[in-house]
Amino acid sequence: MTSGPVGEQAEAELIAAVDAAAGNLTLNRPRALNALNTFMRAQMAEAMKKWAADPEIYAVVLAASGGKAFCAGGDVRELLNWVRTDPAKARQSVADEYRLVWQIDCFPKPIVALIDGLVMGSGAGISMFATHRVAGPNYAFAMPETALGFFPDVGATVFLGRLPGAVGTYLGLTGERIGRADAFRLGIASHCIDREHYPSIMKGLAAAEVVDPLLDGFHADPGPGPLATRRDAIDRCFSAADVPEILARLEAEKAEHRDWAQAALEKLRRASPLSLAVALRQLREGRALGLKAALEREHRMTVNHMASPDFAEGVRALLVDKDGAPRWRHAIDGVAQSEVEGIFAPLLDGELALPARPQPPVFQE
């Protein structure tokens, strides 16, 4: 049995439907690269709360319409508008986004994200904590927030911070895109399955087929990705103590890794120096944090960072005027430690306090 969309705007932006034992959530803003807005997050949270308690639902599927993007991030224009006109609403929207990520991580049933196309920012937030993350042939993962004058959030403290060596630092600072071969090797994707098999996966989940053998049957090993040949250079350069030293090490790279190093330098020089310093500290210090603590910390950082002129300037340069020439307030070596400290400072009020992870029921014979 299939039920229709939830909410007045759902048909245009999010489709939440039940197909027998599967709850299906489809992002439906293809012209906006399925960017998540506040309405969509609210509808996702509502549907998942209902399905978590429904004994007839075996699994949830996260999918997207259009072929270019699973989800290219959050609707940053919406957020910036609220920062300027209604700061309380902006803070509420941010808190609700982190609550949704925590809700996904705590969901008591399988969640299968079918990802073919761009997955960035908020798109990573709603998919990285799914139990199964299926990468199609057009899969492209990135966390490009430093170029927007922001930092990688929505749980990136955990899913980037725990990557091997300095790979998470490299991806978080440069915003580099990786394909499904690298994502699979890093554990960012759990399976590599071509899009033509997605209807069969959804049919199987609707019939409550056991998820792991179902996905394993369609998985094809993608082979090694390009990062494998650069791991030594990534670890050598991005293990440096601070951002200026990372740049110095990249500038010293020669021979086989010189072109890669120059491309990384170009990305870092386009990014906000403040955001780079914040992200480096975030990912280094956050490796030992659980997701709950990481999200609560990221909420604090976001509230403090939203007022930064760099965020507004990054959105202007990349998304509004699209001149690609942000005018940052600092040089790479000119970021004061006190300003970085201010991003991590406790809030005077309105700290996010997520609920404890629900404990599984204990059955007694």
Give the residue numbers spanning the domain of 28.
Answer: 10-223+266-344
Would you state the pLDDT for residue 81?
A: 86
How large is the average pLDDT for residues 20-28?
98
Beta strands in the chain, from DSSP E residues, in sequence order? 14-19, 22-27, 59-64, 69-71, 111-115, 118-120, 132-135, 140-142, 191-192
Instruction: Indicate whether 62 pLDDT > 50.
Output: yes
pLDDT > 90: what percent of the chain? 85
Would you state the pLDDT for residue 7?
A: 44
User: pLDDT band for position 80 (50/70/90)?
Assistant: confident
Tell me if 238 is assigned to some domain.
no
Answer yes or no: are the C-beta atoms of 208 and 21 closer than 8 Å. yes
Q: Is 50 exposed, middle or buried (0-12, 13-18, 19+ CB in 10 A)?
A: middle
Tell me if 79 is assigned to some domain.
yes
How many angstroms separate the CA atoms of 13 and 246, rounded? Answer: 41
Look up residue 207 and give its two tokens: 């019939």
Which residues, in sequence order, are CB contacts of 230 under 8 Å at separation 6+? 257, 260
How many angstroms separate the CA atoms of 35 and 58, rounded? Answer: 27
Tell me if 3 is assigned to some domain.
no
How large is the average pLDDT for residues 197-225?
98
How large is the average pLDDT for residues 96-121?
98
Task: List b or e across 285-315, with b for residues whose CB sees 16 or more CB atoms inside 10 angstroms.
Answer: ebeebebbebbbbbbbbbbbbbebebbbbbb
User: pLDDT band for position 4 (50/70/90)?
Assistant: very low
Tell me if 201 is assigned to some domain.
yes
Count other Cβ atoms within 10 Å, centred on residue 349. 5
Backbone angles phi, psi at 68, to 5 degrees: -90, -35
How large is the average pLDDT for residues 173-195?
98
Helix (H, G, I), strand (E, B) or coil at 140: strand
**Domain containing 25 — which CATH number?**
3.90.226.10
How large is the average pLDDT for residues 265-290?
96
CA dihedral over 281, 129, 186, 269, signed as positive or negative: negative
User: pLDDT band for position 3 (50/70/90)?
Assistant: very low
Look up residue 315 and give its two tokens: 């959105």
Tell me if 340 is assigned to some domain.
yes
User: pLDDT band for position 365 (50/70/90)?
Assistant: low
Instruction: Indicate whether 6 pLDDT > 60.
Output: no
Tell me if 19 is assigned to some domain.
yes
Instruction: Indicate whether 176 pLDDT > 60.
Output: yes
User: pLDDT band for position 359 (50/70/90)?
Assistant: confident
Instruction: Indicate whether 1 pLDDT > 50.
Output: no
Tell me if 243 is assigned to some domain.
no
Would you state the pLDDT for residue 363?
A: 53
Each residue of 285-297: pLDDT tens digit? 988 999 999 999 9
Q: What is the pTM for the complete model shown?
A: 0.94
Helix (H, G, I), strand (E, B) or coil at 70: strand
Instruction: Indicate whether 83 pLDDT > 90.
Output: no
**Residue 211: DSSP 8-state:** H
Count other Cβ atoms within 10 Å, centred on residue 144. 21
Each residue of 316-337: pLDDT tens digit? 898 888 998 999 999 999 999 9
Instruction: Indicate whether 157 pLDDT > 60.
Output: yes
User: pLDDT band for position 360 (50/70/90)?
Assistant: confident
Sheet holding 132-135, edge to edge: 14-19, 22-27, 59-64, 111-115, 132-135, 191-192
Q: Are strands 69-71 and 111-115 parallel, antiparallel or unpaired?
A: unpaired
Would you state the pLDDT for residue 299?
A: 97
Would you state the pLDDT for residue 362?
A: 60
How large is the average pLDDT for residues 338-362?
91
Structural domain total, the chain: 1
Answer yes or no: are the C-beta atoms of 227 and 185 closer than 8 Å. yes
Instruction: Indicate whether 11 pLDDT > 70.
Output: no
CA dihedral over 225, 226, 227, 232, signed as positive or negative: positive
How many angstroms separate the CA atoms of 268 and 175, rounded? Answer: 9
Task: List b or e across 96-123, with b for residues whose CB sees 16 or more CB atoms inside 10 angstroms.
Answer: ebbbbbbbbbbbebbbbbbbbbbbbbbb
Q: What average pLDDT is seen over the chain?
A: 93
> Could you tell me if residue 274 is left (phi over 0), alpha (psi between -120 and 50 degrees) or otherwise beta?
alpha
**Residue 121: DSSP 8-state:** T
- The rounded Cα 201 to chain-centroid distance in angstroms is 23
Each residue of 35-59: pLDDT tens digit? 999 999 999 999 999 999 999 999 9
Tell me if 304 is assigned to some domain.
yes
Look up residue 165 and give its two tokens: 């060596």
